[in-house]
Chain A
Amino acid sequence: MMKSDAVFHFWFPVLAIVVPLAVIVALTDQFGGLSLQRTVIEMLISIVIVVGLYIFVGNSGIISFGHATFMAIAAYASAWQTCCEMLKPITMSGLPPFLRDQSIPLLPSALVSILLAGGAAFLTGLVLMRLTGLAASISTLAVLFILNVVYSNWDSVTMGSASIVGLPTYVTAWLAFGCALLAIVVAWLYQTSAFGLAIRATREDEVAAAASGISLYWSRLIAFTLSGFVVGLGGVLQAHFLGTVSINNFFLSFTFLALAMLIVGGMGSLAGAVAGVVVVTTIVDLFRRLEAGISVGGGQWSIPAGTQELIIAAFMLLILIFRKNGIMAGREIGLPQHTHREKGLVHG
């Protein structure tokens, strides 16, 4: 049995992330304006997505450009099940009858969508995880392009590159927070488990991991699949927050932003993944407002559209050059060192 002290130590890094988030949500829920509340919800959804990405990229050290694929799969699946019952037979006539002619309740549809995303990640992983790190990264790019080409042109089912609109928007701040909490807890349990330890060893040194009896292939496949499920959850949330789904939102720009968040915070730790989301969301939101224009001393003043993207890219490069392990430098937020042994688990 773990003593309660040890339990506290084990969960402390999670609490150190989640409690401040809960405070942010509670405060903005009470006192924030509508646009701030929306920003906070977007941030929480980004946390789900980036933590999902982190489960693979952070633990394995292999960059993936393909995770937007699994989000898109989940988002579209959810749209097919829940969207616009009246219009579906016309706009998405190619859907099978059981989807075309009825809507499926929200919770089961969300679960099915997430399962599909995880299943797609598993199948993709079966093939890609055989490759060496860089070849695997480039191949995830191939996956992203394949899905983009297919969904952009499969007009009778996806409405091509047009947006599907009219999804039920049920995502509130507290629901998004609950999902972020779930993603963080899943990531934490995974990275402190035997599987998590094994894959982190392959990240540190593939050769020494093999000499320790660790299978590169299986440990990567497990991480890839699990992260597919979690980003699938992110995809469903995003779809039902915006109320629309469009394949263009799951392509390179989105992939860049998600990776930038992970890199800025530091892909080596869960705390880094979350910190990166918070920092990048703040910068993006700030510059988005400046681009929209603010009134200074009676006059309207704005910066050119596109500045925000330049800033984020430059910021990410500066982080890579001057603090290459990101803001959190690959560390979790642990309690100060003391001699108690059980706290060893805390380093994840």
Chain B
Amino acid sequence: MSRSSKERLEARGVAVAFGGIRALSGVDLSLKRGEILGLIGPNGAGKTTMVNVLSGFQRPTSGAIRLDDIDVSRLSARKIAQAGVARSFQAARLFRAMTVEQNLSVAAIGAGLARRPARERALGILDWMGLAGKADLRCDSLSYGDERRVSIARALALEPSFALLDEPASGMNDAECEALMELIARLPERFGCGVLLIEHNMKVIMGVCERIHVLDGGQSLAEGSPADIQMNPVVRRAYLGEKASDRTLAI
């Protein structure tokens, strides 16, 4: 696949089964460049599996992933990354013995840059994210919050058409989380990419996303604007049914 920017990333009727367990069944999802789509759902709803499928780490049992109408379901994770679909991981998975700048440069190199330009791109992104001062620190010396930010920065260093962020704010406190969401809100404008955002905290996600897709038990429950989702009785039931004390209730 060429490296030029793509307009649309789609999942069509995606199903994934692990042995007898169906992690996803018949999910349709579409992400356009420039938009932020929220992907929410209770624990075990299949959110991470969806990201794994979209990024090529998990072959769908049936259904297809399409990038600008080209089927990419059988491409390796690396090829999909190079075609413009970047992802972050729930656990940051940084290259721990390398510096922050090198972590980002690896992704830029993966996107086809030489060492010098990769470094320039890395420093540019770090600058934009307010991490310029940390460029030469080894990742095993970073604070937890910085680890999370660097893992997002690394995904962005691919200059992807689509960035799939798997719970980027997990474990952060409210202030950190809010700052991160402000940053994510500016991603489409800065990088011209589409963002798929997985997040537990409904309040947080309502503020950033134009559209929200709800998964439950591996199936699509609903999709619509934050307001629609908030009012949707099915969604409310799914969330209420899960855990009464969950802060996701604080809509």
Contact = CB atoms under 8 A, between A and B. Distances in A.
Query: CB atoms of A and B under 8 A apart anywhere in the complex?
Result: yes
Interface of A: 192-194, 197-198, 200-201, 204-205, 207-216, 268, 330, 337, 341, 343-345, 347
B101 A212 contact: no
Given A200-B102, A209-B106, A213-B109, 8 more contacts: A197-B98, A211-B155, A212-B110, A212-B154, A214-B78, A341-B135, A343-B136, A344-B99
Interface in B92-112: 93-99, 101-103, 105-107, 109-112
15 contacts: A197-B105, A197-B109, A200-B95, A200-B97, A201-B103, A205-B95, A210-B77, A211-B78, A213-B81, A213-B107, A213-B109, A214-B78, A214-B109, A344-B99, A347-B98
B98 A211 contact: no
A211 B96 contact: no
Given A211-B86, A215-B78, A344-B135, A194 B114 contact: yes
Given A197-B106, A213-B81, A213-B111, A208 B94 contact: yes
B76 interface: yes
Nearest to A344: B136
B98 A200 contact: yes
Contact of A214 (B96, B106, B119, B136): B106
Contact of A347 (B82, B99, B110): B99
Given A213-B82, A214-B110, A344-B136, A204 B89 contact: no
Interface residues of B, number: 40
B214 to A, nearest CB: 26
Contacts of A193: 115
Contacts of B119: 344-345
Contact of B93 (A208, A214, A330, A337): A208
Contacts of B154: 208, 212
A337 B135 CA distance: 12
A217 to B, nearest CB: 9
A347 B138 contact: yes
B87 interface: yes
Q: For chain B, what secondary structure do more than half of its interface residues adopt (helix, strand, loop), or is it mixed? A: mixed
Contacts of A268: 97
Nearest to B139: A204
Contacts of A341: 123, 135-136
Contacts of A198: 106, 109-110
B93 A201 contact: no
A204 B97 contact: yes
8 tightest A-B contacts by CB? Answer: A213-B110, A204-B95, A212-B107, A208-B93, A213-B81, A344-B136, A201-B106, A212-B110
B110 A208 contact: no
A61 to B, nearest CB: 10
Interface in B185-214: none
Nearest to B81: A213
B98 A204 contact: yes
A210 B76 contact: yes
B95 A201 contact: yes
B115 A347 contact: no
A212 B81 contact: yes
Contacts of A215: 78
A210 B55 CA distance: 10
Nearest to B114: A194
Interface string B220-232: 0000000000000
B53 interface: no
Nearest to B88: A211
B118 interface: yes
A211 B102 contact: no
Contacts of B138: 347
B78 A210 contact: yes
Contacts of A192: 115
A208 B95 contact: yes
B158 interface: yes
B57 interface: yes
Nearest to A343: B136
Contact of A194 (B95, B98, B115): B115
Interface in B122-159: 123, 135-136, 138, 154-155, 157-158
A184 B113 CA distance: 25
